[in-house]
Amino acid sequence: MSSIGTVRVDLAGRGYDIAIGPGLIDRAGELSAKLLARPRVIIVSDDIVAERYGARLFNSFKKAGIEASILFVPAGERSKEFDTFGQLMNALLDQRPDRKTTLVALGGGVVGDLVGFAASVLLRGVDFIQVPTTLLAQVDSSVGGKTAINTRHGKNLVGTFYQPRLVLADTDVLDTLPRRELLAGYAEVVKYGLIDDPAFFDWCEKNAADLLAGDAAKRTYAIEQSCRAKARIVAADERETTDLRALLNLGHTFGHALEAETGLGPDLLHGEAVGTGMAMAFDLSARLGLCPAADASRVRAHLGAVGLPVRLRSIGGDNRRQWNAAKLIEHMRGDKKAQAGHLTFILARGIGKAFVTREVDEAALRGLLDQAIAA
């Protein structure tokens, strides 16, 4: 058996394991059997992922003597809207679940967020298992228990904190993930090094090419390190009541503003926005004299070297944007993380030395944005 990594998320009474490695989809039944209140699961997936992996996951449950059925939603962020959510709830209830039925989310962050939310309210709460299939979902969204759907007021404004019983991150499925999605997820991997683990950032610089090319052992290691970092922060601050969990938003104040400006569409994926946003956060830290300029250059160089967009002018494909600093700041003020008008930034004193601040001078921010727009 090839090596499977395990990370434990320690939460009193609700702790769970994240298993990471190749071949896990085919072992899902065996690995989850003892956790199920009753041998009955309903798998929910998106149509793209279901076509590739639905039957294998279904068969793995069957093989373990677990009754299984499978439902689909269309692939894409729009499946996190109320309409899809309502249809999914009715489709789930059509399956006559009881409180001991377990839901299984097979897909990226969209399916994970949607199904996690559904599990938290179906019959006032049923268990669920995450089988994340994008790198972003494996290192970020499937861990930590945030669930959400979108409204016309913005993304992720309706949701719950609801932890899965198990996460199975099968590294093989990343082989079919489009390169752009893989890179977007990789930005969130780098994030963990930049927050508080400079040795992991060094590792990323040396091993990114192999990892992105499909090296299974390196993928497992990077996902394990990422999950361990997120699990540690989540265990200490499950509901984001202190600034600790906010560190996970490194690059996100800028990133969310860029996403808002590009319309949350295919022009800029979330992880791409976070990559650009992290480069900007380090540049702002350097501009404020908090962080050595050499560290900010190193961050930008690594993200650029793997192929993430680090310059605003490279974003948007054919329909290049006219970026506007005032508009970007307006988006930042609209972000749900902004508290009483104070923008929250995650800045850094160097690689692996991130901290939270609400004291960023607006003129400096303006200067940084103008420079990024001109670059």
Ligand X SMILES: NC(=O)c1ccc[n+]([C@@H]2O[C@H](COP(=O)([O-])OP(=O)(O)OC[C@H]3O[C@@H](n4cnc5c(N)ncnc54)[C@H](O)[C@@H]3O)[C@@H](O)[C@H]2O)c1
The residues annotated as belonging to the active site are: 124, 146, 188, 230, 240, 245, 249, 252, 256, 270
Closer of 27 and 191 to Zn ion (Cβ): 191
- For residue 327 the two structure tokens come to 């508009």
Q: Which does 136 bind (CB under 5 to 8 A by kind): ligand X, Zn ion, none?
A: ligand X
Assess 60 for contact with ligand X (CB under 6 A): no
Given a contact cutoff of 8 angstroms between Cβ atoms, the answer to whether 138 and 177 are in contact is no
Of the candidate spans 21-29, 72-80, 326-334, 341-349, the one that interacts with ligand X by CB under 6 A turns out to be 72-80
- CA atoms of 158 and 154, how far apart (whole Å): 9
| Tokens 């990370």 sit on residue | 7
373 Cβ partners below 8 Å, 6+ apart?
312, 323, 324, 325
Assess 156 for contact with ligand X (CB under 6 A): yes
Residues 318-357 interacting with ligand X (rule: CB under 6 A): none
- For residue 212 the two structure tokens come to 């992105």
Given a contact cutoff of 8 angstroms between Cβ atoms, the answer to whether 366 and 325 are in contact is yes
51 Cβ partners below 8 Å, 6+ apart?
none
Assess 226 for contact with ligand X (CB under 6 A): no
CB of 279 to Zn ion, least distance (A): 15
Assess 176 for contact with ligand X (CB under 6 A): yes
Assess 36 for contact with ligand X (CB under 6 A): no
Cα torsion 269, 151, 189, 108: sign? negative
CB of 109 to ligand X, least distance (A): 2
How many residues bind to ligand X according to rule CB under 6 A? 29
40: amino acid identity, one letter = R
239-278 footprint of Zn ion as x/- string (CB under 5 A): -----------------------------------x----
- For residue 2 the two structure tokens come to 């090839």
Assess 177 for contact with ligand X (CB under 6 A): yes
Residues 268-287 interacting with ligand X (rule: CB under 6 A): 270
Q: Contacting ligand X (CB under 6 A), which of 27, 40, 80, 300?
A: 80
Assess 136 for contact with ligand X (CB under 6 A): yes
Q: Give the distance, in angstroms, between the CA of residue 33 and the centroid of all CA atoms in the same chain.
A: 27
Closer of 70 and 373 to ligand X (Cβ): 70
Q: Which long-range contacts (CB under 8 A, 24 or more apart) does 300-307 make?
A: 302/190, 302/201, 302/204, 302/205, 302/208, 303/187, 303/190, 303/275, 303/276, 303/278, 303/279, 305/208, 306/183, 306/186, 306/208, 306/209, 306/212, 307/183
Of the candidate spans 23-31, 70-78, 234-242, 293-301, the one that interacts with ligand X by CB under 6 A turns out to be 70-78
Closer of 56 and 337 to Zn ion (Cβ): 337
Q: How many residues does the chain have?
A: 375
Q: Hey, is 41 helix, strand or coil?
A: strand
Q: Which does 347 bind (CB under 5 to 8 A by kind): Zn ion, ligand X, none?
A: none
Q: How many CB atoms lie within 10 A of CB 78?
A: 12
CB of 73 to ligand X, least distance (A): 10
Residues 63-122 interacting with Zn ion (rule: CB under 5 A): none
Assess 133 for contact with ligand X (CB under 6 A): yes
Binding site for ligand X (CB under 6 A): 46, 48-49, 52, 75-77, 80, 107-111, 113, 133-134, 136-137, 140-141, 144, 146, 155-156, 173, 176-177, 181, 270
